[in-house]
Homo-oligomer: A and B are copies of this chain.
Amino acid sequence: MTVANAGEFGLIARITRRLPSGPATLLGPGDDAAVIAAPDRRVVASTDVLVDGRHFRRDWSSAEDVGHRAAAANLADIAAMGAVPTALLVALCAPPDLPTVWAEELADGLGAEAASAGAAVVGGDLSASPTLTIAVTALGDLEGRAPVTRAGARPGDVVAVAGRLGHAAAGYTVLCRGFRTPKVLVDAHRRPEVRYAAGPEAAGLGATAMIDVSDGLLADLGHVATASGVGIDLRKDAFPLPAQMRDAAAALGVDPYTWLLAGGDDHALAATFPAGTELPEHWLAVGQVRESPAPEVTVDGRQFGDGAGGWDHFR
């Protein structure tokens, strides 16, 4: 059965049936709008869109994988403000010949990833389109804390990361070269493993700035450097190089630090903390904030690679 056979309202009924409710869901899908608890009297909100053939490929990722990834990309943005995710809204643009089961499994992935962060899918929209597109909006609650923006990093702060780096990028390279292993890397491209709880934790520890690593650590710390008006220097030897990544890099003739430092889509959290902050083990100190006449991110005091290390969605 395709989405055109099921029809708009039939498909909505099939999808919403599969979506679990969450603790903040006061009124879920089915009305003009959802109602979500916002106990803090402020709500944190972010939108990210995934386009077929650009952000995912249906021959490389299952619908459930895509659901996990679409949800994770948005939930990580909420965590990176120091907030706890509460809700997702999802707009799905689907070609009429899309199998209904694909949309259903997408919903399963979205729902499961949201639940893993304590949130739930509360609403959405459905339209026909020649291009399969998934636009997700995530909401979250600050629990009384100040939001951690990109603008608060100060010279002397420690730079630390929570979560995996370079895995999704390595998996993407592996898939591009026609391989299907190492599984840990390919799976990381398909489904990020995000440490959502590390975001509110960092806020509680006094993080001065925080960002979700979606474009690559260098590019994303570049946004922090620009917003904060500082320089950031990373120590290359602070980044452990997993054996499977090292081996895959050698086999493919790639510098694995390109993956670690410039690869996006793992949605690690990168934050700056006042010097002397006692960091839990899953926060890995990788560098330092310093004064700089112009915002820049360096590795061992020098520019890394071509200095770009980012991702422009139009290039």
Residues of A near any B CB (own CB < 8 A): 3-4, 6-9, 11, 26-27, 30-51, 54-55, 77-78, 80-81, 83, 87, 89-91, 93, 96, 122-131, 133, 135, 137-140, 142, 147, 149-151, 210-212, 227, 312-315
Query: With contacts A47-B135, A127-B55, A133-B133 known, is A96 near B314, CB below 8 A?
Result: yes
CB-based nearest B residue for A94: B314
A244 to chain B, nearest CB (A): 30
The answer to whether B42 touches A35, judged by C-beta atoms less than 8 angstroms apart, is yes
CB contacts (< 8 Å) of A51 on chain B: these are 93, 127-129
Taking a contact as CB atoms closer than 8 A, the residue among B34, B81, B133 that contacts A129 in the complex is B133
Inter-chain contact B33/A128, CB cutoff 8 Å: no
A selection of 17 A-B contacts at a CB cut-off of 8 Å is A4-B315, A26-B42, A31-B151, A32-B80, A32-B210, A32-B211, A33-B78, A38-B38, A39-B41, A40-B41, A43-B43, A46-B89, A46-B123, A48-B125, A49-B93, A51-B129, A137-B137
- For A41, list chain B residues within 8 Å (CB): 37-41
A37 vs B44: C-alpha distance when bound (angstroms):
9
Q: Do A49 and B91 have beta carbons less than 8 Å apart?
A: yes
For A36, what are the chain B residues with a Cβ–Cβ distance below 8 Å? 42-45
Q: How many Å lie between the Cα of A178 and that of B315 in the bound state?
A: 38
Residue in B11, B33, B55, B151 whose CB lies within 8 Å of A83: B33
Report the minimum CB–CB distance from A289 to chain B (whole Å).
18
Q: Are B312 and A7 in contact (CB under 8 A)?
A: yes
| Bound Cα distance A126, B50 (Å) | 10
**Does A129 lie within 8 Å of B46, measured CB to CB?**
no
The 8 residue pairs across chains A and B that have the minimum distance between CB atoms: A135-B135, A33-B46, A38-B38, A131-B131, A49-B91, A137-B137, A32-B80, A47-B89
A49, B135: Cβ atoms closer than 8 Å? yes
Choose from B7, B35, B139, B313 the contact partner of A127 (Cβ within 8 Å).
B313
Residues of B contacting A40 with CB < 8 Å?
Answer: 38, 41
Chain B residues within 8 Å of A133, by CB: 49, 93, 129, 131, 133, 135
* B46 and A32 form a contact (CB under 8 A): yes
Contact residue among B34, B37, B135, B313 (Cβ-Cβ distance under 8 Å from A8): B313
Check A33–B122 contact: CB distance below 8 A.
no
Closest residue on chain B to residue A124 by CB atoms: B47
**B89 touching A314, Cβ below 8 Å:** no
Considering the chains assembled together, what is the distance between the CA atoms of A135 and B136 in angstroms?
A: 9
Chain B residues in 8 Å Cβ range of A210: 32
Cβ–Cβ contact A149 & B27, under 8 A: yes
Residues of B near A149 (CB, < 8 A) are 27, 31
A89–B142 Cα distance when bound, in Å, is 19
**Pairwise interchain contact A313-B128, C-beta atoms closer than 8 A:** yes
